[in-house]
Amino acid sequence: MKFLDLCKVYIRSGSGGNGCISFRREKYIEFGGPDGGDGGRGGDVWAEAVDGLNTLIDFRYQQHFFADNGRPGAGRQRTGADGEDIVLRVPVGTEILDEDEETVIADLTELGQRVLLAKGGNGGWGNLRFKTSTNQAPRRSNPGQEGVERTIWLRLKLIADVGLLGLPNAGKSTFLAATSNARPKVADYPFTTLHPNLGVVGVDDAEFVVADIPGLIEGAHEGRGLGDLFLGHVERCAALLHLIDGTSGTLLEDYQTIIDEIEAYGAGLADKPRVTVLNKIDALDDEERAFLKEELERKTGHEVMLMSGVSGEGLTEVLRTLRKHVKITRKREEATEETQPWQP
């Protein structure tokens, strides 16, 4: 299935039905009076986060969603039928943005969460509503209220606990394949990964979700390579895993490139807990490992872990460290939500 995480959608709620002008016409009833019914209400447009979806590909083939109009009223005080609502079924983690692509209308982060995007128009009144003691035969009715038409953007940000960062060929997909049942494409050329992959990783009877995104290069925030289009998928992560290719001849420059790119992107990525790992140590001897680890720690200012996604060396220790960061961050987020005042 093709991956799609941003799309433009046109929606329109239903218009209300017109009210009816009608009078009773029954034998032996000389003064029947008005009996025109009201119009039906137009259908609403909703968005709902559903299970089983991880891409917005369905919206590539259908971009227009129109709810049904309400039916007009009829004689004998009959109200028109309401229009059917329409529901946009989107993956969990979908942001709904206004036409300017900046104003967030809603953020559907929980399964079953629903939001009203366009309210249907009310039905018009029939002439029965206008009957008074001084106007017992009104010949007027109201038209139905017009529906709401708007353009919105859907942007998917995958729900994951840990996000993988690194240059192309840093070993991110190999790490995901070695620690989960995910089977991302792995090859020895840059930009093997062209769209994000998710994998469920387990360690010490605990599980968390890891997101592998396409590699960044210098100037990604300016659109070089695949750009930073996929960095949005790690915005929701509790921790970041920064993998550095131990066989690279420009180790420190590689590290700084990624740091510069996430700082240029913003959205709080640079402030997230980050685990720095020297990868591909199976190709290094003990002396090289110690030297590169010391150089990297001097550059980063914090501990650097050693790992090989191919041989599995150091994998368990890295997973345990990530699990610890995820647990701490999620607890902090829950405590923050509990202390925030309730908003109606």
Q: In Å, how far from its chain's centre is CA 257?
A: 27
Residues that constitute the known binding site: 166-173, 191-195, 212-215, 279-282, 308-310
Torsion 96-102-104-110 (CA) sign? positive
Burial tier of 9 (Cβ tally within 10 Å: 0-12, 13-18, 19+): buried
Residues that constitute the known binding site for GTP: 166-173, 191-195, 212-215, 279-282, 308-310
Residues that constitute the known binding site for Mg(2+): 173, 193
At residue 13, the 3 state secondary structure works out as coil
Q: What DSSP line would sit under 273-297, residue for residue?
A: -EEEEEE-GGGS-HHHHHHHHHHHH
Q: Which residues have a Cβ under 8 Å from the Cβ of 82 and sit 6 or more positions away?
A: 40, 41, 42, 43, 70, 71, 120, 123
For the beta sheet containing 239-245, the strands, ordered from the edge strand earlier in sequence to the opposite edge, are 197-203, 206-212, 162-165, 239-245, 274-279, 304-306
